[in-house]
Structure 1
Amino acid sequence: MSGPAAGTARAATTTTDVVCLGESMVTFLPSQPGRLADVPSFGRGIGGAESNVACALAAAGHRVAWVGRVGADGFGDHLVETISGYGVDTSAVRRDPARPTGIYFRTAADRGTGTHEVAYYRAGSAASAMSPENMPYEHLLAGRVLHLSGITAALSAGCLALLRDLTAPRAARPLVSFDVNHRPHLWRDGDASVLLELARRCDLVFVGEDEAEETWGIVGAEAVREALPEPSVVVVKRGSAGATVFSSGRHPGARSANAEGADTAPTAPASPASPAVAFGPDTVTDVPALRVDVVAAVGAGDAFAAGFLSATLRDLPVRDRVRHGHLMAAAALTAPGDLADPPARDHADRLVALDDAAWGRLRLGPGWTAADRAPEEVRTP
């Protein structure tokens, strides 16, 4: 194995905010709507839940690394160069001369419709060979946050072993963030219930209310929290209804850092009094979603996680963390492809600071992230 393509990676630092581990693939996007059999040509992009999070966080101004494995091929070059172009540190990406980089094709239709098609060519990919024996732990454990997802666990027995090891208790473990990201087609020959085991070993968990029911038979946000008592923060995404966050305070195994980069004990997440109610030892915060004119329903969940993590790194109140998640998701939903430019931080902060009534009046469409748009310009009567 060799390192990333020359000149495409920034050097790793000891002050990385977030390290993201997972498979990234080259995505082929259709030139026009229709069945895959009828689309005459495709444009090339990149896709991958964890690299999506890394790119969004880097675009938002954070120090981020993406760690994975790609083939020693042109598609691997393209992935490393593109992700690095967002400002992400790719110095720990491994190249596999014996296995290819994963690719996939998709139609232009919404993923939520029956006409949407995705054709994956990832079996036996370089990323599927990840394991505790061949991944650089000195990089994986170097950040303030390690972000993982359930997609990696589904790729192979070695990948599952890697996630089990990274989520195991260890001294000075970074805060471990886990997006359940259940993909049914990846679990046809496996047991997706292992995702519950992994989630319970993490500090911050993102899970959709619908995927919790589909994967574990658990119905409702409160029941999800009861099934996940260990994480200090559980974010239950409820689609158009918004998100509910259960937060129990500081986690003894996580570490944070102050503005100068020194390790400090993490503080308990702050919550505004108005939307929060008591639920056992937790603070429960409900934040409604935004109205969005959707261009493509792709990458929104990854963008939400990036927005929430960005606000967490800034130690913002829980309500504001969720609102930043909603805004990042809205940026993804109003642009084609998996990745979208996030709003400038001061622009997002102005929107997050709106009162509940003004937040409820927001409706965001294509172009809303432009830095010269004031909050009033994206409202509707």
Structure 2
Amino acid sequence: MATFPHDSSTAPELLSFGEAMTLFIADRPGDMTDIETFQRRIAGADTNVAIGLARLGFHVGWVSRVGDDSFGQYLRKTLEGEGLDCRHLINDSEHPTGLVFKERASGGVDPRVEYFRRGSAASHLSPDDATSIEFTAARHLHATGIPPAVSASCRQLSWHMLERAREAGASISFDPNLRPSLWDSERDMCDTLNAMAAKADWVLPGLAEGQRLTGLTSAEEIADFYLSQGAQAVIIKLGPEGSYYRGKLNGRESEFTVPGFPVTDVVDTVGAGDGFAVGVISALLDGLSPHAAVRRGNLIGAQAIQVVGDMEGLPDRHHLTRLEAELPALD
């Protein structure tokens, strides 16, 4: 749940947008063909990050659509319960809420996921849904590569959000979050997402994502590519090995790798990258150093994979403070 209540009359300081879906997780490992019972939760990379930041006390506005159905009501209730400001969450009476079913994985293997989102309410998002947003009140916008892949109108909204946030002077983070199956072509995906990343201050790809988007091999080369496009910092996820940082923040240019936190019992790998984004974004907004931000990203990413569900492992502020207090001091 959110750490602090927020004044509903105050515009959100952070903005995020995309599709939240009702998630059904198998109650035991095995092929979903043989599973009869599922647990209901919520899913969506963009909402994972929004929820994680809200749990840390930030006033986060969520921009999306849900169907005028029980699944949409469940999503709204859950998101508001997590502290998200849902004044820009629209009820769509003409289109259904998207659904996703996920296997119960074991042994740290990525679970199989099946989506039922074509024609969903959120796929009909457009710039018209952002007309009432007070961008001048926003301190930060988090965007991913998922909305522009969902539909043409969602792509238009993505461009609108990036451009309006940039005009208002808000900082912007961008996680490519590749979903190749949603794109018409590899070239369209790479060209669009690289252009969107060029609008961001902080670019957060995984190593494999960066390689696919840029055609380059090393983390250093990928970072150079996005820095040359205008990013202030590029933070690349290296999996269990940790994360690589290169950029110029707080007037200082630096480059380093921060090792990951060992996890002995990996329960569910989905959401690790979203947890990483929560850590990096929250730390930079807290005014911490890039090194502290990357370490926090690794820390929260490690927390996220130790529980069932996409966002259940994201800590609140009290829990995060306790976890960080146990870490050695940074030089």
Matching of residue 289 in structure 1 with residue 286 in structure 2: no
SS of residue paired to 2:86: coil
| Partner of residue 8 from structure 2, selected from 8, 11, 22 | 11
Q: Which residue of structure 1 lines up, in the alignment, with residue 320 of structure 2?
A: 345
Q: Whole-Å Cα distance in 2 between the matches of residues 180 and 61 of structure 1?
A: 25
TM-score, structure 1 as length reference: 0.78
Which structure would you say has the larger Rg? 1
Query: Matches of residues 33-112 of structure 1 in structure 2 within 5 Å?
Result: 33-109=29-105
Matching of residue 330 in structure 1 with residue 302 in structure 2: yes
Q: Whole-Å Cα distance in 2 between the matches of residues 326 and 141 of structure 1?
A: 31
Q: Which residue of structure 2 lines up, in the alignment, with residue 235 of structure 1?
A: 235
Q: Is the 8 A contact 2:100 2:114 kept in 1?
A: yes
What are the Cα deviations for residues 96-149 of structure 1, in whole angstroms up to 9, with x where unaligned? 1111110010111269858x4211100011111111123245245632101110
The offset of 1:227, in angstroms, is 1.7
Q: Whole-Å Cα distance in 1 between the matches of residues 295 and 74 of structure 2?
A: 33
Q: Which residue of structure 2 lines up, in the alignment, with residue 203 of structure 1?
A: 201
The offset of 1:352, in angstroms, is 4.3
> Which ranges in structure 1 are unaligned for 5 or more consecutive residues?
1-8, 250-267, 271-281, 357-381
Higher mean alpha-carbon deviation, 102-111 vs 46-55, is at 102-111
The alignment yields a C-alpha RMSD, in angstroms, of: 2.2
Q: Whole-Å Cα distance in 1 between the matches of residues 218 and 132 of structure 2?
A: 36
Letter in 2 for 1:163: S
**Percent sequence identity over matched residues?**
35
Higher mean alpha-carbon deviation, 135-144 vs 120-129, is at 135-144
Higher mean alpha-carbon deviation, 226-235 vs 182-191, is at 182-191
Q: Give the helix-richer structure, 1 or 2.
A: 2
> Which ranges in structure 2 are unaligned for 5 or more consecutive residues?
1-5
Q: Which residue of structure 1 lines up, in the alignment, with residue 189 of structure 2?
A: 192
SS of residue paired to 1:40: coil
- Regions of 4+ moved over 4 Å: 110-114
Q: Taking structure 1 as reference, are residues 290 and 168 closer, same or farther at Cα in structure 2, changes over 3 Å only?
A: same
Q: Whole-Å Cα distance in 2 between the matches of residues 12 and 23 of structure 1?
A: 25
Letter in 1 for 2:120: S
The offset of 1:215, in angstroms, is 3.5
Q: Is the 8 A contact 1:296 1:337 kept in 2?
A: yes
| Partner of residue 301 from structure 1, selected from 273, 281, 292 | 273
What are the Cα deviations for residues 31-71 of structure 1, in whole angstroms up to 9, with x where unaligned? 11111110111110001111111111111222222111111
Q: Taking structure 1 as reference, are residues 213 and 12 closer, same or farther at Cα in structure 2, changes over 3 Å only?
A: farther
TM-score, structure 2 as length reference: 0.89
For these two proteins, the number of residue pairs brought into alignment is 317
| Partner of residue 223 from structure 2, selected from 219, 222, 225 | 225
Q: Is the 8 A contact 2:244 2:258 kept in 1?
A: yes
Q: Whole-Å Cα distance in 2 between the matches of residues 56 and 148 of structure 1?
A: 14
Q: Whole-Å Cα distance in 2 between the matches of residues 136 and 352 of structure 1?
A: 44
What are the Cα deviations for residues 199-237 of structure 1, in whole angstroms up to 9, with x where unaligned? 011111110111112343221111112221211111111
Letter in 1 for 2:206: G
| Partner of residue 120 from structure 1, selected from 107, 115, 119 | 115
Q: Whole-Å Cα distance in 2 between the matches of residues 53 and 164 of structure 1?
A: 19
Q: Whole-Å Cα distance in 2 between the matches of residues 161 and 111 of structure 1?
A: 40
Q: Whole-Å Cα distance in 2 between the matches of residues 290 and 129 of structure 1?
A: 39
Q: Taking structure 1 as reference, are residues 206 and 151 closer, same or farther at Cα in structure 2, changes over 3 Å only?
A: same
Matching of residue 172 in structure 1 with residue 168 in structure 2: yes
Q: Which residue of structure 2 lines up, in the alignment, with residue 244 of structure 1?
A: 244
Q: Which residue of structure 1 lines up, in the alignment, with residue 133 of structure 2?
A: 138
